[in-house]
Amino acid sequence: MRSDLSSRRDWIRKAAALACGPSLAGWHTSASAESLAVGRPAPPLVLRTLDGRTIDTRSLRGQVVVLTFWATWCGPCHVELPVLSAYAAAHAGEGLTVLGFSLDTPDSLADVRKMAASLAFPVGLLGSAYAGGYGRVWRLPVNFTIDRAGMLADNGWDDATPAWTAERLEQVVTPLLKR
């Protein structure tokens, strides 16, 4: 009886997450919580940039990598992206790579290009809300940081304050650059 009740609760939790988003039930619908744990290997992801290049995170071993997910219609993204861009420009020579994944649709490409023109890092359209091993992107902005060894150093889903600020970048990313 007890295990039957337990499995029913688990089913209800999963159904709630599918219907209302992972934050309600505390798990990720498209990526397991274990695969996104800090200190574990970061899931690979490929950025197809607006200028036609392909950048695979697996090819960036030895770099500190920040994956940022945003959209032109996201108000907090308009605040975060200039801060992240300035930080990326200031630290590119120290082995920092930032990859920007826009959740905009192809019919918004002109707006994405306009916004991307002011950024110091490559940008591409994600193409859907699903970001491979990072799961379904259900809030914006969201960021993940990968250390030089390819391990997840900061999990954007677990961050209480998901947006980058200058202070948060100094606290999270700068120590990784010094290693």
CA distances from 135 to 17, 22, 35, 54, 79 (A): 13, 10, 10, 20, 24
Instruction: Give the tokens for residue 115.
Output: 């916004």
CATH for the stretch 32-177: 3.40.30.10
* Per-residue pLDDT reduced to its tens digit, 76-119: 999 999 999 999 999 999 999 999 999 999 999 999 999 999 99
String of DSSP letters for the chain: -HHHHHHHHHHHHHHHHHHH-HHHHTS-SSS-TGGG-TTSBPPP-EEE-TTS-EEEGGGGTTSEEEEEEE-TT-HHHHHHHHHHHHHHHHHGGGTEEEEEEE---GGGHHHHHHHHTT-SS-EEE-SSSB-GGG-B--SSSEEEEE-TTSBEEE-TTT-SS-S--HHHHHHHTHHHHT-
pLDDT digit string, tens, across residues 8-60 = 444 444 443 333 333 333 333 445 556 788 999 999 999 999 999 999 999 99
Map out the domains of the chain as residue ranges.
Answer: 1-30, 32-177
| Predicted pLDDT of residue 10 | 44
- The one-letter amino acid code at 159 reads D
pLDDT computed for residue 74 by the predictor: 94
